[in-house]
A and B are shown apart, each in its own frame.
Chain A
Amino acid sequence: MQLSKEKNKFSMKRFAQQNSALIAFVILFVVSVLIKGKTFLNLGNIISVLQNNATIGIISLGMMLIIITAGMDLSVGSMLAALGLIGLAVLNHTNSILLAFLACILAGAIFGLITGAFVAQFTIPAFIVTLGTMRIYRSLAEYACQGGGITATVSHADKFINISNSSVIGIPIPVIIWAVLGLVIWVVANKTAFGRHVYAVGSNQKATFLSGINVKRVLVFVYIIGGMLVAVASMLEASRLGSINSASSGLNYEMDAIAATVIGGTDLFGGKGTVSGTIFGTLTLGIINNLMNLLGMPSFLVGAVKGAIIIIAVLMQRAFNSQSENVSTN
């Protein structure tokens, strides 16, 4: 009796430790239901929460891989603006949605390659590199448009705008793309050698290098994947709004993406992080936004509440982790 109780307790603890993001999400969900019952649970509302967060959700998937390697990408917001502009420019010139997507994703890969090269080859901390590229991309984008933006103006514009604004069996296309990409990143992280190398680099980069892994290549690819995911997000954003503004598009997205990742249980020191956690982290942030909207709270306070939730979420993880830390140094 005693034993089974103890066993049960242990697995609960482990569950809590591995699913802290899910727990945070469920708590907030329940709180939202209690406060705003019907309005919140309304199918339309739920779907709009998902839709509004697909962009950040997709960016966060890449951010997660990057942070697992003990890296960081502050440039994702500026990159989103720059990549969106590239995509729209190609769309307006070629009239081809496919070409626009391909050009945008290619550009995203190149941006990622640049960051990755500085981080891996010149061993400059990713925080510094992306602090720089964040300013560079934004500034170049603003210069190219003289502070303005690009609107989808071609004959295909309606078709393009339809991508983000239509649904399949009631589910918005961006949400479907988010789910598919989540699955792809999950497979990459857990079921491929590359994925295991990503975790290994984050956990002990030196040992990973000494075991014969090409660590530089792992790092470069992580940033390339990150850039490509931002590219997809930027096209969805461009499609949703029909335009991209060089000054305001993607502004502060890096903060939301990092917050979603961290709430999702990814360790800023590297080596730890899950796709499911990151998705629930994104949704947790999304529900906070939604709830505050529904409550009619002043939008100026949204940042304060989000900030507090980030700190509380990380404190919760810390509490779970320290409880079940095993020390075995025989």
Chain B
Amino acid sequence: METILQMKGIKKSFGHNTVLRDVDLTIHRGSIHALLGENGTGKSTLMNILTGLIPDDGGEIVLTKGVKITFIHQELSLVNDLTVYENLFLGHEIIKHGFMDRKTMIQQSKAALNRIGVRLDPAALVKDLGPSEKQIVEITRALLQNNDLIIMDEPTSSLTDVEIDHLFEVMKQLSQQGISIIFISHKLQEVLKVCDEYTVMRDGRVVLDGQLTKDVSEDQLIEAMVGKKLNAMNKRERLIKTDDVLALRDLSKQDEFEDINLHIRKGEIVGITGLLGDGKSNLFATVAGANYPYQGQIVVDGKVTNMKNTAKAVARGISYLPKNRKENGIIPGLSINDNLLLTILRHLSKGGILSNDRQRLAFQKYSKVFNIKYGQRRDHITTLSGGNQQKVILARALSTNPRIVILDNPTQGVDIGARSEIYEEIEQLSRQGVSFVVLSNEFNEINHICDRVYVMCRGKIVKEMLHQELDEEAVLRYAMGSASEKVD
């Protein structure tokens, strides 16, 4: 097989944080190459170096002559208010007599879409497309520019199963046409399904690479990524008969959720699951004081509480980890220290002046609990990898000594090793009496940590299940609204 790209001995540090130590990567023509590793092992940095976004500190990149690269980021770069073909030709418009040649552009768009077996109207507005279709528009754009190497950074994270299958078919089509793909994903089952080569990185080094044959198992890859054997995932077997710490009574908000009645006990881990548009994020943003006003009652420790802002919720012992870390969690202008301790800073003062000692102690406590990898405490938060950033804002949510913790998609973009660390911490705290509400679309996550689950569909709770009753198919059926049952 022809080699189209060779990266040799790539090195990179950000300040005191060494991200890449000595990384080699070889890509062959037409292969789908899985780039694996936990958060913070340098995958994105390596790709940013490859595409010239950032300079390296050493090493060599050999690219076969004429090879062009496209990097499809997790955050797509499409213009929502333009059509598919306008997006496809953005910056490369075909001009005839000084005007855009709409007809030719639509024709060529159609041809390119056909080439990967996709039926999509080139004149449709991008904002009307689903997430997978948007991915496909990005891929098609790379095709139109005759690029031979496409980098996809966790392309499946916002897709449904059907959409993922569709995307994989497209990827296989591309590979047959001699286009190479670097596929970055945390979902090993997907990797095993679609990739034919792999490279595993850990701590800025390549620890394992080769052909992805049938002999390579998921466990082998996990071990290489984590560097130790994982304990078999233990199922929860706890019966909780404690008092309610939180109850929602007839909670409603127009167009968001309706007549929600539920309760959370002390030390319980309750999952809330459903599909896109189920309203769970808005519902619990309301409980956290971030979606005022509302109708109905929020009862904390038996007392009706008017959740008019987040500070009120924190004062009542409720803390909140919102979804979408970049938009809702990270404060890019502040240091790692200030990001983590933000909510409790005023308790780390002496006579109104911040105490460095108290800050250091508190910071060390939480960075140890979550095993956060950082250069220096006062470094900018943006020097951390995505997974470590997630740990920082999770630590921020737990820093207020809450009794009820609402976690919306807590392991978003977090790898297996960090995931199990987060789960372990949740379990440990729940044994000390802290209650958790975990909002997740992933059945495995819900099944792994929750004592009890509410399934939501279109703004309503449609089913309550205990852990032992959990069944993936049943949950999906309720979430889609095809089976419904009134919850008492």
Contacts and interface: CB of A to CB of B under 8 A. Distances in A.
Contacts of B314: 212
Interface stretch (A155-163, A200-208, A283-291): A200-208
Interface in B366-412: 382-386, 393, 396-397, 400
Interface stretch (A102-110, A138-146, A186-194): A186-194
Of the candidates A216, A271, A327, A328, the one having the most CB atoms from chain B within 10 angstroms of its own CB is: A328
A211 B352 contact: no
B51 to A, nearest CB: 11
The bracket for how many chain A residues form the interface is 20 to 34
A203 B48 contact: no
Interface stretch (B211-219, B325-333, B480-488): B325-333
B53 interface: yes
A330 B330 contact: no
Contact of A328 (B290, B319, B382, B397): B382
A330 B313 contact: no
A204 B332 contact: yes
B184 to A, nearest CB: 10
Contact of B328 (A187, A196, A206, A272): A206
Nearest to A209: B310
Interface string B322-351: 100001111111100010001101101100
Interface in B1-49: 14, 19, 39-45, 48
Contacts of A204: 330-333
A211 B310 contact: yes
Contacts of A207: 322, 327-331
B475 to A, nearest CB: 28
B342 A200 contact: yes
A212 B348 contact: no
Contacts of A197: 342, 345
A211 B76 CA distance: 26
B400 A212 contact: yes
Interface residues of B, number: 49
A210 interface: yes
A270 B328 CA distance: 17
B342 A213 contact: yes
B331 A203 contact: yes
Interface string B133-172: 0000000000000000000000000000000000000000
A330 B43 contact: yes
B320 interface: yes
Interface in B254-296: 288, 290
A4 interface: no
Nearest to B346: A193
A73 to B, nearest CB: 21
A329 to B, nearest CB: 5
B353 interface: yes
B309 interface: yes
Given A196-B345, A209-B310, A213-B310, A329 B327 contact: no
B334 A213 contact: no
A330 B353 contact: no
B342 A329 contact: no
Given A192-B349, A196-B334, A212 B319 contact: yes
A326 B332 contact: no
A164 to B, nearest CB: 30
B338 A196 contact: yes
A271 B332 contact: yes
B54 interface: yes
B116 interface: no
Given A209-B310, A211-B343, A327 B53 contact: yes
A199 interface: yes
A207 B326 CA distance: 9
Interface in A136-183: none
A216 B328 CA distance: 17
B396 A330 contact: no
A213 B384 CA distance: 23
A218 B343 CA distance: 13
A192 B353 contact: yes
A270 B353 CA distance: 23
Contacts of A193: 345-346, 348-349, 354
Contacts of B313: 212
A271 B327 CA distance: 15
B320 A326 contact: no
Contacts of A202: 333
A211 B332 contact: no
Interface of A: 187, 191-194, 196-197, 199-200, 202-204, 206-214, 216-217, 270-272, 326-330
Given A203-B332, A328-B48, 18 more contacts: A187-B353, A199-B333, A199-B334, A206-B328, A207-B327, A207-B330, A207-B331, A209-B310, A211-B393, A211-B396, A270-B333, A271-B332, A326-B382, A328-B14, A328-B54, A328-B382, A328-B383, A330-B41
18 contacts: A192-B352, A193-B348, A199-B333, A200-B331, A203-B332, A203-B333, A204-B332, A206-B327, A207-B330, A211-B310, A213-B343, A270-B333, A271-B333, A326-B54, A328-B44, A328-B48, A328-B382, A328-B384
What are the 6 tightest A-B residue pairs by CB atom distance, in nearest-first order?
A203-B333, A271-B333, A212-B314, A193-B346, A193-B345, A330-B385
